[in-house]
Chains A and B, each alone.
Chain A
Amino acid sequence: MVTSDEIIKQLESRLHAFNQDLRSQNVGKVERNNDGIITVSGLSKVEMGELVIFDKGARGVVLNLDEDSVSIILLDEGSQIKEGDTVKRGELLLSIPASDELLGRVVNPLGVILDGKPQIKQGKNMPLERIAAGVVERQPVDTPLKTGIKAIDAMIPIGRGQRELIIGDRGLGKTAIAIDTIINQKQQAKDGKEVKQVYCIYVAIGQKESSVAQIINRLKEEEAMDYTIVVAATASDPAALQYLAPYAGVAIAEYFLEKGEDVLIVYDDLTKHAWAYRQLSLVLRRPAGREAYPGDIFYLHSRLLERAVRLNAANGGGSITALPIIETQAGDISAYIPTNVISITDGQIFLESNLFNIGIRPAINAGSSVSRVGGSAQTGTMKSVAGKMRLGLAQYRELAAFAQFGSELDETTLRDLERGKRLTEVLKQPQYRPLPEPLEVISIWSVNNGLLDDVPVEDVSRFEQELHEYMQTRQKKLLATLAQGKKIDDETGKQLIKAVQEFKKGFTK
């Protein structure tokens, strides 16, 4: 127990260290307060992006440096700020305190706790704006980040350190893919002893508070909150906080990156982020460009996404994988913000409403979706089963359109059509049910090798579910072999055929 003598001794030692030199302050006076933007005269020595403090303790960030004045965005409640109030320099750039205690917590972009639990002790101050790691510090993406979603892990694989965009209209399951990916990282902790735990950060930008609450509840139910941090700037928060939210998220991610950890960060969504920035820029009287966005709207997202990185061993070996989400209108991926972000990221997962409406969920358009990292982010096992799947699926879709006209088809074509239907069924997956890789491999391998050809299409889903249960109870050794990540050799292939045929004997159609 700390005694009062010890406390006094500590204070005295701090007194000795007190710097008694004359201190000067550079101050300003409030001239105008418009829509959360404060115009201040003075502050001639303030820096861009610096934190400033008002008389009553409210904080702001400098966003414009004009000849005779400075424009500041408010970060706190500012209704009491009036003309003539004094503003002082904070003499530090905007930062967020980050520590391991943030895991499982919900914070706002300034680090204020939102979940009603005790305050977090002061962590390391991580700057919101930071230059991304250089070329020399990086290494190519070579470790998979498994989403647990068959369609993605097989055809659009994501690696640790990659930026993969999730793009589509509202209500098609963009957030669902991100949440399933977060939930799937829990399985890694249990099964993959050699694979590092991936810490997850979910950044909610401009969303409804009820939606954020639902997501947090779901993560708690799936026991995913233990390794997840939620940074929330909801629709009722000022545009300034919505603008800062993604940068706060990646600043926290960099805290873990510096420790050599792997991090997954989801930005949900960058469309609202662009809207918030447009609002701020218009109030700051910056020149408006296309669609009234400011001229540096590309830089807004490029500098954010460049901070997703895979560092080499000399720099800790950690990674930040980014899953930005963009909402399109009427499926238009050629609009301004979508094209900007597509050109920045290392691939996109394109969700289509047509597919969603006919029951294909996740509604991923395999033709328009791509992962520029590709096979480097897949294990040998997955690569061996999913190698030609994308092409096969595309061919099936072409054939299916052709077959609608009822013309006579040869046997091979009919077989390909039937197999394609079953492959489409296998790629469907319920929400909140990410699968470990061995089960994904078994499903895809079975359908590609014709083992489901005699199963009616309407029974494929049930067949797959029961096959998984069978494998998990009766074929644990085979699952362990598949979990090693090696290419499926002849011996393993024979074991797989035997196991599936064994299961089929007991399967009732």
Chain B
Amino acid sequence: MHQRLLKQLVELSFRKGELNRQEVSKIADALNRQQLKAYIGGLKKRIKKETIYVDLAAAPSQKLTEKVTMLYPNKQLVYRVAPELLMGMRITDGDNVFGLNLHDRLETLRQYIGE
């Protein structure tokens, strides 16, 4: 399927920033297996673009969730617990990763000293 057409179909599947079941069903019925696979991949990428993943060493407090929501007002936030971070958090915004945690800081320090 042509990339441009695929993007248009993916955009048409969203209403007011959310995936519309009826539109998705209508589009999916018109596609063959290979096209459907590409369409699903496109939907996943689109959703991922709108989603911010916040990895925390422990469960988030309300104060923290309010602050993060202020930083990303128009995005969907997904909170995950990642004990290996030790302290702090890691924010993944598309292909940008912000390391605000002890694990990443120690890793960076280790690489710096190793150089």
The residue in chain B whose Cβ has the minimal distance to the Cβ of A41 is B45
Q: Indicate which residue in A11, A15, A18, A27 contacts B97 across the interface (CB closer than 8 Å).
A: A27
B97 touches A24 (CB 8 A): yes
Contacts of A23 in B (CB 8 A): 99, 104, 108
B113 touches A14 (CB 8 A): yes
A44 touches B3 (CB 8 A): no
A14 touches B100 (CB 8 A): no
- Chain A count of residues within 8 A CB distance of the other chain: 18
Q: Does A489 contact B (CB under 8 A)?
A: no
Q: Does B95 contact A (CB under 8 A)?
A: yes
Cα of A68 to Cα of B44 in the assembled complex, Å: 13
Contacts of B98 in A (CB 8 A): 22, 24
Interface residues of B in 91-114 (CB under 8 A from A): 94-100, 104, 108-109, 112-113
Contacts of A27 in B (CB 8 A): 95-97
Chain A nearest CB: distance from B79 CB in Å? 19
Q: Does A36 contact B (CB under 8 A)?
A: no
- Chain B count of residues within 8 A CB distance of the other chain: 14
Q: Known: A23-B108, A24-B99, A25-B99. Is A42-B94 also a contact (CB below 8 A)?
A: yes
Interface of A is mostly: mixed
Q: Known: A22-B100, A67-B3, A68-B45. Is A44-B95 also a contact (CB below 8 A)?
A: yes
Interface residues of A in 454-490 (CB under 8 A from B): none
Contacts of A24 in B (CB 8 A): 96-99
Q: Known: A41-B45, A67-B3, A68-B45. Is A18-B112 also a contact (CB below 8 A)?
A: yes
Query: Chain B residues in contact with chain A, CB under 8 A?
Result: 3, 45, 94-100, 104, 108-109, 112-113
25 residue pairs from A and B, CB less than 8 Å apart: A11-B113, A14-B112, A14-B113, A18-B109, A22-B99, A23-B104, A24-B96, A24-B99, A25-B96, A25-B97, A25-B99, A26-B95, A26-B96, A26-B97, A27-B95, A27-B96, A27-B97, A41-B45, A41-B95, A42-B94, A43-B95, A44-B95, A45-B95, A67-B3, A68-B45
Known contacts A23-B108, A24-B96, A27-B96; can you find 13 more A-B pairs with CB under 8 A? A14-B112, A15-B113, A18-B109, A22-B98, A25-B96, A25-B97, A25-B99, A26-B96, A26-B97, A28-B95, A42-B95, A43-B95, A67-B3
